[in-house]
């Protein structure tokens, strides 16, 4: 964010106005299209063993929407028909719980989707801090922020007003358990 409180837009090729591009394609509309597309396809992400991430196979149109909404990380793909995305724990649970647009299975050979409670328990057992990081992630996403890993900045997340290709991040988010706060900070 610059001193005026406005986002710092990246420089577009040939002087392209990236702020106008973002305004014409609000993140809320992109996420709504993604939600409708995934919900209609009845897709299931496959949970990675022992970890909190998962793999989701989608068609080319859904891959474009996942990329535009900045969910997951596209994996190298040999075939043109199916695109694969790796979803982090917070992204996975957000797509299941908040957007209600995917199912999650434990392995590719299982047909029975996990319940939200089962997945929550699994993700909490994989990471003790998951409840707090998910709360922060879902709050920011619900406000139409794009939330990405902040690992390279020494933070849990970085938050963008729009797609990271268009705008610089405005915040680095560090999630601290309430029990770790000094008593004078607890309200």
Give the residues of the chain that fall short of pLDDT 50: 1
Residue 138's domain spans which residues? 18-180
Residue with tokens 């994996």: 75
Residue 185 within a domain: no
Residue 1 within a domain: no
Residue 82 within a domain: yes
Residue 36 within a domain: yes
Q: Whole-number mean pLDDT of the chain?
A: 88
Q: What predicted TM-score, i.e. pTM, was given to this entire model? A: 0.87
Q: How many domains are there within the chain?
A: 1
| pLDDT score at 48 | 86
Residue 158 within a domain: yes
Residue 135 within a domain: yes
Residue 11 within a domain: no
| pLDDT score at 167 | 83
| pLDDT score at 75 | 92
Query: Tell me, what CATH number does 146's domain have?
Result: 3.40.1170.20
Residue 2 within a domain: no
């Amino acid at each position: 964010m610059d001193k005026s409180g406005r986002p710092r837009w990246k420089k577009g090729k040939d002087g392209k106005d990236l702020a106008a591009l973002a305004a014409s394609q609000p993140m809320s509309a992109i996420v709504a299209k993604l939600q409708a597309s995934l919900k209609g396809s009845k897709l299931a992400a496959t949970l990675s063993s022992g970890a909190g991430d998962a793999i989701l196979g989608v068609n080319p149109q859904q891959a474009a929407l996942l990329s535009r909404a900045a969910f997951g990380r596209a994996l190298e793909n040999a075939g043109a028909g199916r695109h694969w995305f790796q979803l982090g724990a917070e992204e996975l649970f957000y797509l299941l719980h908040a957007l209600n647009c995917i199912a999650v299975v434990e392995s590719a050979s299982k047909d029975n989707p996990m319940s939200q409670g089962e997945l929550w328990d699994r993700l909490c057992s994989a990471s003790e801090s998951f409840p707090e990081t998910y709360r922060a992630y879902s709050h920011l996403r619900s406000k139409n922020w794009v939330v990405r890993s902040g690992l390279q900045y020494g933070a849990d997340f970085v938050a963008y007003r729009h797609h990271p290709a268009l705008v610089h991040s405005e915040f680095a988010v560090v999630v601290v358990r309430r029990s770790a706060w000094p008593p004078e900070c607890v309200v």
